[in-house]
Chains A and B, each alone.
Chain A
Amino acid sequence: MYRRVAPSLLALALVTGCTGPTRTTSNDGRPPGGTLVIAEQADIGHLISVVSESAADGDIDSNISFPIVDSDFDCSLKKLPGIAKSWEWSDDGKVLSMTLRDDITFSDGVPVTAKDIKFTYDLIADPKVASPRLSYIERMVPGERPKVIDDTHIEWHFTEAYDRDTQMAHASAVSVLPEHILGKADRATLRGNPYDKDPLATGPFKLASYEPNTRIVLEPNDKFTGPDEYKPHLDRVIFSIIPEYSTRLIELQNGDVDLMQGITVSDADMLREKHPQIRLVRRGWRSMDYVAWNETKPMFQDKRVRKALAMAVDIDDMISKVLTSKTGESYSKRAIGTVTPALCGVYNDQIKPLSYNQEQAKKLLADAGWVDRDGDGFLDKDGKKFEFTLSTNTGNRRRADTAILIQAYLEKIGVRVDIEKQESNTFFDNLRKKDYEAALSGWSAGLFVDPSTIWHSDVTCGPDAAPDCKARKYEFNFVGYSNPEADELMQEGLRTPEPEKSAPIWKHLQQVIYDDQPYLFLWWMDEIVGVSDRFEDTQIDVLSPIDHLYKWRVPADKIKYQTH
C-alpha cells in the first residue's frame, strides 16, 4: 500500500504543478515594463516616516516618497535637489533656508507645502509619538524647526552649527507627511494609524497592496508630478517577505525572486558557479567586526597587553579563512577604526595595521609582566594565569568561527581564552553594563562621522542614572575607553561644520585611537547582493541596494511576467 500512496502524492504534485501560473518570456510589443521581485528578510514595521525604523521600512519609503533633499553617495553623502529645489546657509551656519518646488503633490492630489514639512517635524518633536528621529530636532530652535515663510519657503534655525552634512540630514532625511490626513490623528497610537499601512505617495512609486508578513506591492505612482527623470520604467516591484535565508537563496536560484541581499561568501561561490544569470554585486564596507577589551578589567588596562594581543592574531589569515571566496576574492578589508572606509574623505588610509608577529607579542607581554613562571604553558603574573572569557552573540556563524580562530592564536602565545555564546539581548545588555571581559561584536557603518558615542569618556551616567541623563549618549563606550586627547579631538571635530576642515581632525583621531588599541579591530565587510541580470541601470551602492528603483529597467525581450 505504501507503494500506492507515494506515486499518487507525486501525481497530485505534478498535475497541480502544470496548472500553475503560465509564465512566458515572449514580449507583446508594449513599451518596456516588467516586474522586480525583491526578497526581504523581515516585514515592514512602520511606513509613517517619523516612526519608521527598520531597513525594510526605508526600502519602501524611499521609493514612494519624493525626498525633501535627495542623496547620492560618493565618499560622503551628496545632496541633490528634491522637494527643496535650492538651499543656502547663513554665514554662521545656524540658519538653512530652503526654496521648495510648488509642483509636488500627494497621490490624493493635494499639494505638498511648507506646512506639511512643519507638521512632520512637529510630530517628531511630540513626546507622545516617541519618534526615533528625536535627535534631528535636538539642536534646532523650538518654533523654528522649520520656520514657515510661505508655502514654498522655509528656514531651519539651529541652536549651534555642527557638521554640515549631519545638519542637512537632520533637516531633510524624513519623508513629508500630509497634515490634511494626519492632522487630527491620535499621536499616542500613531504607529497603529491605518495610514501607516496605506500611505499616500509623493514619489515615483505608490503602495499598491500590503499583505502582512507576505508581500508588499509597489506600482508606478500615476499621480507623480515631480521631475520626469524620476518616472519609473518598471510596472511593479514586489517585496516578498521570506524570513529564512535558505528559502530566499532557493528562490533566487529558481528565479522566483530577482534580488537578494546578504549572501554569504560561500553561497556567492556556489551562485557564481551554477547560476551565471545572477549578478553578484558588492556593497562596500557596510559593517565591521571587532573584539572589545574591557578596560575596567585589570588585565586589559595596559596598552602593551592590548597591542600584544592584536599582534598575536593573524587577521589577514582569518580573512582568507572566513571571508574569502574559493576564487580568491576577499570580501573584506582590515579595519583600523570605526570609521568606514566608504567615507573616503574622512577615513585615514595612512594608518598601517599592526603586523602579525607572535615573538614581538610575547616580548610586549613580558614587558608588561606576563611570563610563564610555573611552566604550565600559560602566562602568569602575580600568581594569576592570563585567561579570559571571550563572549559573542549566538546565531552568527562568522563570529563563532572567528572566536575559535582567535582562541587558537592566543593559546600559541600562552593566553587562555574561553568562548561563551550569549543570546543577543543578554549579550548587548552585558556590553552596556560592562559585565564581560572580552567581547566579539560589531558595528554597522554610520554615514555621518560622530565617533563620540563610541569613544567619548564621559561616563557620568552610570547604569543607575536617570534615563534622560545626557551623557548616556556615550554608553556605547563599552570598553571604558578614556583618552583626554581623543576627547578633545572629538569635541573639536564636532564643533567644526565644514567637512573639509573637520576631516583632518577625524583622521588624527583615528590614529590616536588605533595607537591605543581599545579594540582588536578585525575587518570591514562587503555585503553581497545577488540580482538577476535581466535588470539594467540598477543602482546598488553603499546607501541602499534599492533606493532608486525608478532607474531600473528590463529590456523588452527579457520581460518575464506578462501581467497585462
Chain B
Amino acid sequence: MARYILRKLLLAIPLIIGVVTIIFFLVELSPGNVADKFFTPDMTPDVRALIVHKYGLDQPMMVRYLLMLKNLATFDFGVSMVQERPVFDVIMQALPNTLLLSTVTLIVIFPTGILLGTLQGVRQGSVSDTGISLTSLFFYSMPSFWLALMLQLLFTLHWHILPTSGLHDTVMYDFMSPTQKLVDRAEHLILPGIAMGLASAAGTARYMRSSLLEVIRQDYIRTARAKGLPERTVIGKHAVRNALLPIITLMGLSLPFLFSGSVLIEYIFAWPGMGRLIVNAIFSQDTPLIIGCFFVFTLVVVAGNLLADIAYAMVDPRIQYD
C-alpha cells in the first residue's frame, strides 16, 4: 500500500509540470499582460513600461518559464504582480472560505444523495421512487446560477428569512455574542451550500439508486434474507455498504471541484473564495497567482484520486494495491 501511494505521488510530478506548463503558455499567448490596466488615455505609457520591466515581463518567454519551474521546484510560488504579496499568502486568505463552503456542500451532496438514493432503491417503482426521480432530474438539470438566483429571490427578497450574500452580517456582526456570530455564519452558509450542492445531490441519488438496485439482486443479499435477517439489517449492513463503492469514487473525484470553489456561486453569493480569486487573477493576467492556484488545484486532484483509491481498499477487502 505504501509503495502504491509513493508511486502515485511520484507520478503526480510530471502531471503538475504538464499542467503548469500548459497554463503558463495559455496565459502567455492570450493577448495583453498585467500592465494593460494602465492603458488609459490619462496615464503616461511609461507606467506600462515600468510595470513590464519591474515584473521581468520584458525577458524572453522561455527564460521566464524556466525561472518559474525552478521556483516551483522549491515550492516558491513567487509574488502576485497585482498585490505585490506572496502568492501563498493570497491563496491562504481565500482557501479557508472555500473549504468551509465546500464542507457544507459535501454534506448537502453525499448524506442527502445517499439517503434519497437508498430510499428509492429500497422502494423501487413506488410513488416515492418516481417522485424523487422526477425531482432529482428537475434539480439535476437546473443551472446552479439560476437556482442560486431563485433561492435568493424566494428566501431573501420575498420572505426575508435568510441573508442574501456574504460571509456574515454586514452591519451587526461586530456587535454579536459568540453564539449569535456562530448562528449568523451558519445562516450565511445555507443558500450557497444548497445552490452549490443540490444538483450534485440529485446526481448522487441517481448513482446510489442504481448501485443499490444492482447490489440487491446479488446472491448474498438473497442469502441474507433467506437466513432470516431483518430487512433493516439486510439493507443497512449488507446492501448499502456494498452499494457505496461507486459513490466513494465519486467523492474522490468531486474533491478538486470543491477546492477550486464554484466561480458562479461565489460571485452570486459574494463569497470570498478560490473561485473569485482565480477569475480575478485571470482577468488581471497575474501569472504567478494563476500558476499558484492551478498548482494547488492539481495537488488536490492527485490527493482526491489517491484518497478515493485508499478508501476503496478500506471498504472493499477484495481490492489490494501493490
A13 engages B162 (CB within 8 Å)? yes
Segment of A123-131, A318-326, A360-368, A407-415 engaged in the interface with chain B: A123-131
Question: Total A-B pairs in contact (CB under 8 Å)?
Answer: 187
Residues in A neighbouring B32, C-beta threshold 8 A: 425, 428-429
Also in contact, A247 and B160, with CB within 8 A (given A130-B54, A134-B44):
no
Within 8 A of B (CB), among A181-216: 188-192, 209, 211-215
A78 CB to nearest B CB, Å: 19
Please name all residues of chain A whose beta carbon is closer than 8 Å to the beta carbon of B298 when the two chains form the complex: none
| Chain B CB within 8 A of A21 CB | yes
A254 lies within 8 A of B49 (CB): no
Q: Quick one: given A35-B171, A243-B267, A563-B171, are A17 and B161 in contact (CB under 8 Å)? A: yes
CB neighbors of B among A222-261 (8 A): 236, 238, 240-244, 246-247, 250-251, 253-254, 256-257
Q: Does A14 contact B (CB under 8 A)?
A: yes
Instruction: Verify A192–B175 contact, CB threshold 8 A.
Output: no
B46 touches A243 (CB 8 A): no
> What are the residues of chain A within 8 A of B153 when measuring CB–CB?
250
The listed residue (A19, A132, A250) touching B152 by CB distance below 8 A is A250
Once the chains are docked, how many angstroms separate the CA of A257 from the CA of B44? 37
B209 CB → nearest A CB, Å: 13
Name, among B36, B41, B86, the residue most crowded by chain A CB atoms within 10 Å (CB to CB).
B41
CA distance A134 to B83 in the complex (A): 19
Q: How far is the CB of A135 from chain B (nearest CB, A)?
A: 4
Closest to A186 in B: B84
Query: Which one of B31, B116, B165, B173 has the greatest number of beta carbons of chain A within 10 Å?
Result: B165
Would you list which residues of chain B between 236 and 265 have a CB under 8 Å from chain A?
none
Answer yes or no: B309 CB below 8 A from chain A CBs.
no
Does B149 make an interface contact (CB < 8 A)? yes
For this complex, into which size category does the number of interface residues on chain A fall? 35 or more
Q: In this assembly, does B206 line the interface, its C-beta being within 8 Å of a C-beta of chain A? A: no
Given contacts A246-B149, A250-B156, contact A453 B41 (CB under 8 A): yes
Please name the residue on chain A nearest to B85 by beta carbon.
Answer: A192
A residues near B30, Cβ cutoff 8 Å: 425-426
Judged by a CB distance under 8 angstroms, whether B51 is at the interface is yes
Contact between B270 and A17, CB atoms less than 8 A apart: no
Asked if A376 is at the interface of the complex by the 8 Å CB criterion, the answer is: no
- Interface presence of B2 (CB below 8 A): no
CB closest chain-A residue, reference B285? A425
B219 proximal to A (CB < 8 A): no
Residue-wise, chain A 534-564 has the 8 Å CB interface mask toward B (1 for contact) of: 0000000000000000000000000001010
8 Å CB contacts to A: which residues of B65-93? 79-80, 82-86, 93
| Structural contact, A190 and B84, CB atoms closer than 8 A | yes
Residue of A whose beta carbon sits closest to that of B134: A2
| Contact A21 to B169, CB < 8 A, known contacts A2-B131, A247-B152 | yes
Residues of A contacting B93 with CB < 8 Å? 212
Docked CA distance A361–B93 (Å):
59
Q: Does B11 contact A (CB under 8 A)?
A: no
Question: Residue A446 at the B interface, CB < 8 A?
Answer: yes
Given contacts A16-B186, A37-B171, A246-B149, is CB(A251)–CB(B165) below 8 Å? Answer: yes
Interface residues of B in 173-188 (CB under 8 A from A): 173-176, 180, 183-184, 186-187
Q: Is the CB of B41 within 8 A of A454?
A: yes
Q: Could you tell me the distance between the alpha carbons of A172 and B48 in the complex, rounded to whole angstroms?
A: 23
Closest approach, in angstroms, between the C-beta of A53 and any C-beta of chain B? 7
Distance of A250 Cα from B154 Cα, bound (Å): 11
Q: Which residues of chain A come closer than 8 Å to B36, judged between CB atoms?
A: 425, 428
Question: Distance in Å from the Cβ of A349 to the closest Cβ of chain B?
Answer: 23
B37 x A21 contact (CB < 8 A): no
Which residue of B47, B79, B187 is within 8 Å of A17 (Cβ)? B187
Q: Are A192 and B155 in contact (CB under 8 A)?
A: no
Question: Which residues on B sit within 8 Å (CB–CB) of A1?
Answer: 115-116, 119, 128, 132
- Among the listed stretches A91-99, A302-310, A327-335, A466-474, which one makes contact with chain B, having 4 or more residues with CB under 8 Å of it? A466-474
A484 in contact (CB, < 8 A): no
A245 to B157, CA, bound (A): 15
Q: Is A23's beta carbon under 8 Å from chain B?
A: yes
CB-based contact A241/B41 at 8 Å: no
Q: Name which residue of chain A comes closest to B36, CB basis.
A: A425
Report the separation of the CA atoms of residues A21 and B183 in the bound assembly, to the nearest whole angstrom.
10
Q: Are A20's CB and B157's CB within 8 A?
A: no
Contact residue among B42, B94, B166, B187 (Cβ-Cβ distance under 8 Å from A446): B42
Interface string of B31-57 (1 = CB under 8 A from A): 110001111011111111111101000
Closest Cβ of chain A to B284, distance in Å, is 9
- Residue on B with the closest CB to A1? B119
Which residues of chain A are near B149, meaning CB under 8 Å?
Answer: 246
Q: Do the beta carbons of A251 and B164 come within 8 Å of each other?
A: yes
Beyond contacts A21-B169, A467-B52: 18 other A-B pairs, Cβ-Cβ < 8 A, are A1-B128, A2-B116, A14-B161, A20-B169, A20-B187, A35-B171, A53-B37, A188-B54, A191-B84, A214-B167, A256-B164, A425-B32, A428-B32, A428-B39, A432-B39, A450-B42, A469-B45, A473-B44
Please list the 9 inter-chain residue pairs (A to B) with the smallest Cβ-Cβ separation, ordered nearest first: A213-B272, A17-B161, A192-B84, A21-B172, A467-B49, A191-B84, A453-B41, A130-B50, A429-B31
Cβ contacts A to B, 23 pairs, < 8 Å: A5-B112, A13-B161, A16-B187, A17-B160, A20-B163, A20-B183, A21-B180, A131-B47, A132-B47, A191-B84, A214-B167, A240-B170, A242-B270, A253-B157, A254-B160, A425-B32, A428-B36, A443-B41, A450-B42, A467-B58, A468-B46, A473-B45, A563-B172
Residues of B within 8 A of A (CB): 30-32, 36-39, 41-52, 54, 58, 79-80, 82-86, 93-94, 112, 115-116, 119, 128, 131-132, 135, 149, 152-153, 155-157, 160-167, 169-176, 180, 183-184, 186-187, 190, 267-270, 272, 276, 285
